Amino acid sequence: MKLSIGFSPCPNDTFIFDALVNGKIDTGGIEFEPVLEDVQTLNQWAIQGRLDVTKISYGVLPNILSHYAMLNSGGAMGRGVGPLLITTADNSQLSIEQLSQLPVAIPGENTTAHLLLSHALPAFQQKKFMLFHEIEDALIAGEVASGVIIHENRFTYADKGLVLLNDLGKFWEESLNSPIPLGGIAMKRTFPLDIQRQVDQLIQSSLRQAEEALPELSSYVQLHAHEMDPSVQRMHIDLYVNEFSRNAGAEGKHAVSVLMDAYQRLRGITPDAVPNIFID
């Protein structure tokens, strides 16, 4: 059986899926065809039902529940991992109210980052959606007044003279008393449950193989990272790969339910009822 599998080129994803897609573990007769794309592209493709297995932002989950179920492993969630709203040193002299009337860059319309911005600062409406690794440069060039950053940009923005305005993840955690479900692995519901479970277990095995190889990072991680400094790659992995990546568990699943409630409140849309969000 051949399955298409989509994930981002970010270090946490390539770290988790390296062994799975590069023949480093026994996949039990399943061949995985990897497709590496920005998460917003993967979100759009998930809405279209394009890939068999795919990383998605939890912000798009309500739009895909009718044809995808979530696996327990391979995701990114936790505390202290949320997106940051940043600006330039000059713009930091403006009030939040003033900045809310100016363009803000967001790493994709269907991303969890967009949902967290809407939750914390609903007045920000002049939105420009772009690839996450373009946001810092757009700020420096004056194309936007503020920007929501994710992934390794958390570790690089200050070195570029950019300034933190709001930790959107911290606001989410404190206001909703919940960890942040950033992204997870979805698989088409058309596959039998035993195949879904097998893929789930294979992702766990792939992650375990990568963790056993630490502190070394594979060439696969380094090849695809936008930020090529190995120390930044390692900080990225240490932040986003955790116990929730191994298994979402009861706490992670509850966090997703909290996000679904917030989505309904903020978007005014009730997702279609489905028998389950996660596989058994």
User: Is 151 known to be catalytic?
Assistant: yes
Say which of 119, 151, 226, 236 is annotated catalytic.
151
In one-letter notation, the amino acid at residue 76 is A
Q: Tell me which residues are annotated as active site.
A: 151
